[in-house]
């Protein structure tokens, strides 16, 4: 099974939890994800199955889009609603326009310090492991790009279905709903925390939903329950992304049998119709993605990765 599947991740599960569940549902050991989501977060979690796990290298810098809420009034140790408060609760009065002006300071290329409870490594050890042991966690600021960040509205308190722990400490504060489009490596938790520091009242990420990763959107997503039901009825084709929709920045070419055979065995091929392309997706038929090829010179291409080897023919 060589497929790409988009799961609508529920709150409370890690990305690895979702991968493990999909492995059991599909009875397939080779499953990976394209970009971690925190347990608190929901939404688009792209999974690669079988040989298509090798496509992960092309998604390391994928743009991501989010919707969520930030609670102002106190900070937490995890920078989100699952953590413990690190500041006293403060009531505040701030307008939508004021928050929008503040949000404008977080657009473009900025320096951002990752949260202490994150997968960033300190001398080879993930920061969250040190933080859980109450060890000192000092992470260096990194440059990230926030392409869009808009505060949509402000509410005086959290909605009834907001998945929070720390927020139960008090009903004080206010919640700002936002939309954001960011480059890979950006932490929305850090944005919430930093906004709270600038206002002087503390803040944390109350909820987060990822609505897109690269070319994948919520419209492509399926729940774990939908996937399990489809497997039971052997109606799984609609669960998976059509391979020709993958990596839209690369043009497609459908290889004839001779060209496909050369590609599958790692030999260079001539693709005269793609002389201007740097990398191409090579298909055998409509759905079988067999390779990602790189232009060597002129119209000569060589497989960067081979995704489908030629099946063995058994003769009597």
* CA-to-CA separations, 265 to 86, 258, 275, 280, 290, in angstroms, rounded: 58, 11, 22, 17, 11
Please identify, in words, the CATH class of the domain defined by 244-306. mainly beta
Please confirm, yes or no, whether 38 is among the known catalytic residues.
yes
Out of 15-24, 136-145, 186-195, least confident range: 136-145
Tell which wins on pLDDT, 243 or 277.
Answer: 243
The answer to whether 260 and 234 are in contact (CB under 8 A) is no
Pairing of strands 269-270, 300-306: antiparallel
What's 64-212's CATH class? alpha beta
Rounded Cα gap, residues 283 and 271, in angstroms: 13
**What's the average model confidence in pLDDT over 102-126?**
78
Residue 257 φ then ψ, to 5°: -60, -40
CA distance 122 to 131: 11
Looking at residue 126, what is its pLDDT?
57
The structure tokens listed for 279 are 């990398």
Mean pLDDT value of segment 209-228: 95
Task: Write the pLDDT tens digit of every residue in 40-76.
Answer: 999 999 999 999 999 999 998 899 999 999 999 999 9
Where are the domain boundaries for CATH 3.30.2350.10 in the chain? 3-59+215-241, 64-212
pLDDT attached to residue 160 = 38
Considering 8, 17, 38, 80, which one is annotated as catalytic?
38
Give the Cα separation of 130 and 119 in Å (integer): 10
User: Which of 111-120, 142-151, 165-174 is predicted with the least confidence, judged by mean pLDDT?
Assistant: 165-174
**Which residues of the chain does CATH 2.30.130.10 include?**
244-306
Least confident of 92-101, 187-196, 218-227: 92-101
Model pLDDT, residue 129: 60
> Which CATH architecture is the domain 3-59+215-241 placed in?
2-Layer Sandwich (3.30)
What Å distances lie between residue 198 and 34, 79, 107, 163, CA to CA? 33, 14, 15, 25
The pLDDT of residue 138: 66
């Amino acid at each position: 099974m060589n497929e790409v599947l988009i799961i609508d991740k529920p709150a409370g599960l890690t990305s690895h939890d979702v991968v493990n569940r999909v492995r059991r549902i599909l009875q397939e050991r080779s499953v990976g994800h394209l970009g971690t989501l925190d347990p608190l977060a929901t939404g688009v979690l792209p999974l690669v199955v079988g040989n298509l796990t090798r496509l992960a290298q092309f998604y390391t810098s994928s743009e991501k889009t989010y919707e969520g809420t930030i609670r102002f009034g106190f900070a937490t140790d995890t920078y989100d609603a699952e953590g413990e408060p690190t500041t006293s609760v403060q009531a505040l009065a701030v307008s939508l326009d004021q928050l929008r002006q503040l949000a404008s300071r977080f657009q473009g290329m900025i320096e951002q310090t990752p949260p202490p409870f994150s997968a960033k490594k300190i001398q080879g050890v993930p920061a969250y492991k040190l933080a859980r042991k109450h060890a000192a966690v000092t992470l260096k600021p990194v440059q990230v790009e926030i392409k869009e960040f808009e505060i949509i509205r402000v509410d005086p308190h959290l909605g009834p279905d907001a998945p929070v722990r720390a927020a139960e400490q008090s009903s004080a504060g206010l919640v700002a709903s936002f939309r954001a489009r960011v480059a890979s490596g950006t932490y929305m938790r850090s944005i919430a925390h930093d906004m709270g520091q600038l206002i002087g009242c503390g803040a944390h990420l109350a909820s987060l939903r990822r609505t897109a990763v690269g070319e994948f959107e919520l419209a492509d997503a399926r729940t774990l329950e939908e996937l399990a039901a489809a497997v039971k009825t052997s109606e799984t084709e609609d669960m998976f992304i059509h391979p020709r929709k993958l990596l839209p920045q690369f043009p497609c070419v459908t290889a004839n049998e001779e060209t496909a055979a050369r590609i599958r065995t790692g030999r260079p091929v001539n693709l005269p119709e793609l002389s201007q392309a740097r990398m191409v997706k090579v298909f055998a038929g409509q759905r079988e993605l067999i390779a990602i090829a790189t232009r060597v010179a002129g119209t000569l291409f060589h497989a960067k990765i081979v995704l489908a080897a030629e099946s063995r023919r058994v003769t009597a």
